[in-house]
Amino acid sequence: MPLNRPSLAVSPPALPELTAPTLEKEESFDLSETGTFSKGAFTMGREGLEGRSNFTLDLEVQKTLGSGASSTVRLVTDRVSGQNLALKELNVMCDQDTMHMTINEIKILHKAHSDHLVSFIDAFFDNGRIYLALEFCDAGSLDDVIKLTPADARPRIPEPVMAEVVSQSLEGLAYLHQEQKQVHRDLKPANIMLTRKGEVKLGDFGISKQLDNTLALAVTQCGTTAYMSPERIKGDNYAYDADIWSLGLIILEMCSGEYPYPAARNFMQMVMRICEGPVPTVQADIVSVPLEEFVRSCLAKVPSERPGASKLMVHEWLISRSSSPDTLAEFLEAQARAKESPPLQE
């Protein structure tokens, strides 16, 4: 999950004064003399949350996967198990928003258990830094895959492969929504991770918001605006169906290889196109009718008209496709071979 991959992330607009309940006040952080890091009831030290001593000494750094202003992600190998991991390192002196997001991600992953979420290995605090050890997805992200597809392919990713990516993504969303009462809030191609076995896993839960059992609606300004639903951009209440909108845009991007909305001259023009403009559609002559209908339902402007993740999992488009993880694995293998042996230039 490299941090320096190009994306369409832009700063969200200033929201009008809201009458809906605001998010709870964040608890402060505490660094103790014994070398532990605490936030409320959340505490971690050198032994991590899993109680394994000297975990940092067991990790051999292979290479840097990506870096940002406040964190770095490295590919490391656990000498004990031989397993490759993605290790996110964060300086505790970074800005408070980044710190809150990181702790939120740790809390979510520590209690989540799904084959379709990036697996949590451990998190620990050592020498002024927080380390988050995560499953390493060896085929990169969907964003990487889209960029590697031939520009003349229509659709850019074959429908059976698309169906497998979407089906497994919905498994992850259904688990987040139903079991964890979480809205992902930052679903985009760069946060859909893939493995060479054909597995699809959702990642980057730093800005996920947990909804209580009464389904109280979240109100917030954070997120990746380009993939945000209209209700989120407007500052309205939103819930799980906001993730479904993001999924619809991702499918369109898999079809065309490009972000679905036309390039905007400035930020406000992009916001107006998403909120007030026509909903983007897939080119009818390159995909099946069931896929068209699937995307249309995901991109309903009225949030309540978007089907939930569980309902979409049994949509005709997915049921009619005989795809499997092997379908995706074979596509990724072929793409990797093509990358290693590019065609000769005439």
Q: How far apart are CA 199 and CA 140, in angstroms?
A: 11
Q: What is the pTM of this model?
A: 0.80
Which domains are present in the chain?
Answer: 29-135 (3.30.200.20), 142-332 (1.10.510.10)
Res. 248: pLDDT tops 60: yes
Helix segments in the chain, DSSP class H: 96-111, 142-148, 159-174, 230-233, 241-256, 267-276, 289-298, 309-312, 316-319, 325-340
Tally of CB atoms within 10 A around 61: 10
Instruction: Look over the chain and give the mean of its residue pLDDT values, rounded to a whole number.
Output: 79
Chain centroid to CA 269: how far? 25
pLDDT tens for each residue of 185-205: 889 999 999 999 999 999 886
Q: What is residue 214's predicted lDDT score, i.e. its pLDDT? A: 40
Structure-model confidence comparison of residues 124 and 25, the more confident one? 124
SS3 325: helix
Structure-model confidence comparison of residues 212 and 187, the more confident one? 187
Q: How far apart are CA 333 and CA 247, in angstroms?
A: 24
Q: Quick one: what percent of the chain has pLDDT higher than 90?
A: 48
The two structure tokens encoding residue 230? 């209209």
Say if residue 88 carries a ligand binding annotation. Answer: yes
Active site residue 186: yes
Tell me which of 115, 126, 152, 186 is the catalytic residue: 186
SS3 239: coil
Q: What is residue 13's predicted lDDT score, i.e. its pLDDT? A: 40
pLDDT tens for each residue of 99-153: 677 777 777 777 888 999 998 888 877 777 778 888 999 999 999 999 999 988 9
Structure-model confidence comparison of residues 88 and 20, the more confident one? 88
